[in-house]
Amino acid sequence: MQRGTFQLMKSVNKSIILNKIRTAEPISRAEIAKETKITPPTVSSIVKELIDQGLVKESRLGHSSGGRKPTMLHIHTGAFYVIGVDAGPEAVEGVLTDLSGHILQRSSCLLKKPITSGQFIEVLKNVIRTILDLSKVNQEKIIGIGIAMHGVVDTETGMSLIAPNLNLKNTPIQAELEKEFDLRVKVENDARAMALGESWFGGHGDIASMAVVNIGRGVGAGVVINGKLYYGAHGIAGEFGHMTIDMNGEICECGNRGCLQTFVSGAAIARRGRHQLKDSRLTAKDLFDMAENGNQACVDLFHETGHIIGIGLTNFIHLVNPRKIVLGGGVMKGEKFMMPTIIETIQKNALTVEARQTKVTVTQLGDDVTLLGAVSLLLVELFDPIKKIG
């Protein structure tokens, strides 16, 4: 499927109806008309178009009180496919999924550093080529490629402006990949992509506002309001890791002192653990394994980390007030030691009773959450094209 795929969605009504089917399937035409306030003739006409285009299919599953069972509508998840890529900073991973996010094919490649922009783009191309070569799907039905990229991204041009962990600037990801594959390409910051993927595939229901915080090599957040990503006035909303926690603290990679990231990232935990245990060889995983084996100093280290995360999340709740916060990233593999302290800290410090009721959980999508976020960048354009607020 070429870049004109999204011309399928010619009208707001069409997108509303398609998204209603996605979120409420199985659903009848009459129920769609009732819940969307779109007239029944318009619903019937648009549904016919969607069936003709292969996006929607019918079944006779509806309940009847005596007459003929109503025809129910479903998304035809195998009608089209999407490639999603989690781009760095240690590796490039790619997947091919159907419209439900079911993963059909994978490919990955470790990144060798230092790396140039040209070499990085070539790795992206090779991972995508491998997926295309291995997959058995009709490639005309691939609607596009979503890229979740760490650092600062210009979403309008698909340019990676700054990728600090790769030491790259002004990498033209969208332009190069569209030229290579003749598919629509969307590039987004990885934390925001992760947030969109979590809201799309995480099973959170019709929740009005949620945030996803990624705590791993770095710390970032994405905010979704009414199913749409929040960017802020200048596109830096969600830089949660660069919230100042200690004005006299360590210098962060951003140049400021005492950022949250200098306390709770994987590297920061390892650094604190090495200092406390006087062992320069320890990694964050080593410290977690030691905590699992009952080392009280390591258990205390993760409890302390949970307290610091909880303070950061309390500040975040006061500023953004999301209904739900989902935590992900490699550091949250230590949730058994940190989550009780995170919850306790929020309960103790949040300003109001309602704020203390903010639900905080760990993602159930596992290591695939960012990949699925990359996939959702294309799906949200298909099902709900107006996705950006700021």
99-132 residue pLDDT tens: 999 999 999 999 999 999 999 999 999 999 999 9
As a whole number, mean pLDDT of residues 80-90 equals 93
Which comes out higher in pLDDT, residue 41 or 88?
41
**Residue 130 amino acid letter:** T
> How high does pLDDT run on average in the chain?
90
Contact between residue 253 and residue 164 where contact means Cβ atoms under 8 Å apart = yes
How confident is the model at residue 387, as a pLDDT? 47
CA angle in degrees (0–180, nearest 5) for 329-334-337: 140
As a whole number, mean pLDDT of residues 147-171 equals 91
In 3D, which of 177, 66, 186 has the Cα closest to residue 125? Answer: 177
**Can you give the CATH number for the domain in which 191 is found?**
3.30.420.40
Q: Are residues 344 and 233 in the same domain?
A: yes
Rounded distance between C-alpha atoms, residue 356 and residue 347, angstroms = 5
Q: Are residues 64 and 85 in the same domain?
A: no
* 121 found inside a domain: yes
Is a pLDDT exceeding 60 seen at residue 1?
A: no
* 334 found inside a domain: yes
Q: Are residues 185 and 210 in the same domain?
A: no
Band (pLDDT 50/70/90 cuts) for residue 10 is: low
Q: Are residues 227 and 281 in the same domain?
A: yes
The residues, any chain, with a CB within 8 Å of residue 211's CB and separated by 6 or more, are 195, 221, 222, 223, 224, 238, 316, 320, 322, 324, 325, 326
Q: Are residues 210 and 357 in the same domain?
A: yes
Is a pLDDT exceeding 90 seen at residue 82?
A: yes
Question: 117-134 and 173-181 are packed helices; what angle lies between their axes, rounded to 10 degrees?
Answer: 40
* Last-in-domain residue among 60, 75, 90: 75
Is a pLDDT exceeding 90 seen at residue 385?
A: no
3 state SS of 206: coil
Residue identified by tokens 């949660």 is 240
Strand partners, 259: 244
* 165 found inside a domain: yes
**Model pTM?**
0.85
Q: How many CB atoms lie within 10 A of CB 109?
A: 15
Per-residue pLDDT reduced to its tens digit, 334-378: 999 999 999 999 999 999 999 999 999 999 998 899 999 999 999
Q: Are residues 341 and 231 in the same domain?
A: yes
How confident is the model at residue 12, as a pLDDT? 78
Band (pLDDT 50/70/90 cuts) for residue 133 is: very high
Q: Give one word for 213, left, alpha or beta, with left for phi > 0 and alpha for psi -120 to 50.
A: beta
How confident is the model at residue 62, as a pLDDT? 54
Of the given ranges (236-240, 270-274, 314-318), which has the lowest mean pLDDT? 236-240
Band (pLDDT 50/70/90 cuts) for residue 68 is: low
* Last-in-domain residue among 75, 96, 126: 75
Contact between residue 359 and residue 323 where contact means Cβ atoms under 8 Å apart = yes
* 331 found inside a domain: yes
CA 323 to chain CA centroid, nearest Å: 17
As a whole number, mean pLDDT of residues 308-320 equals 95
* 201 found inside a domain: no
Q: Are residues 108 and 217 in the same domain?
A: no
In 3D, which of 239, 236, 213, 218 has the Cα closest to residue 335? Answer: 213
Task: State how many domains the chain has.
Answer: 3
As a whole number, mean pLDDT of residues 278-294 equals 95
Q: Are residues 317 and 230 in the same domain?
A: yes
Torsion of CA 63, 67, 68, 69, to 10 degrees: 0
Contact between residue 161 and residue 154 where contact means Cβ atoms under 8 Å apart = yes
Band (pLDDT 50/70/90 cuts) for residue 209 is: confident
How confident is the model at residue 23, as a pLDDT? 83
Q: Measured between alpha carbons, how far is residue 296 from residues 276, 299, 315 in Å? A: 12, 5, 29
Is a pLDDT exceeding 90 seen at residue 237?
A: no
**Can you give the CATH number for the domain in which 52 is found?**
1.10.10.10
Determine if the peptide bond prior to 114 is cis (ω within 30°). yes
Is a pLDDT exceeding 80 seen at residue 314?
A: yes
How confident is the model at residue 148, as a pLDDT? 96
* 239 found inside a domain: yes
In 3D, which of 358, 389, 369 has the Cα closest to residue 195? Answer: 369
Residue 55: which domain range?
Answer: 3-75
Q: Are residues 306 and 329 in the same domain?
A: yes
* Last-in-domain residue among 75, 93, 126: 75
Q: For the chain, what is the radius of gyration of the CA atoms?
A: 22
Band (pLDDT 50/70/90 cuts) for residue 59 is: confident
Contact between residue 56 and residue 76 where contact means Cβ atoms under 8 Å apart = yes
Residue identified by tokens 């959450």 is 369
Q: Are residues 191 and 176 in the same domain?
A: yes
The token pair that represents 390 in the structure block: 């700021």
How confident is the model at residue 86, as a pLDDT? 96
Band (pLDDT 50/70/90 cuts) for residue 217 is: confident
* 200 found inside a domain: no
* DSSP at 244: B
Band (pLDDT 50/70/90 cuts) for residue 4 is: very low
Is a pLDDT exceeding 80 seen at residue 179?
A: yes
Q: Are residues 340 and 225 in the same domain?
A: yes
The token pair that represents 73 in the structure block: 């509508």
How confident is the model at residue 382, as a pLDDT? 80
* 142 found inside a domain: yes
Phi, psi of 255 (to 5 degrees): 105, -15
Q: Are residues 152 and 20 in the same domain?
A: no
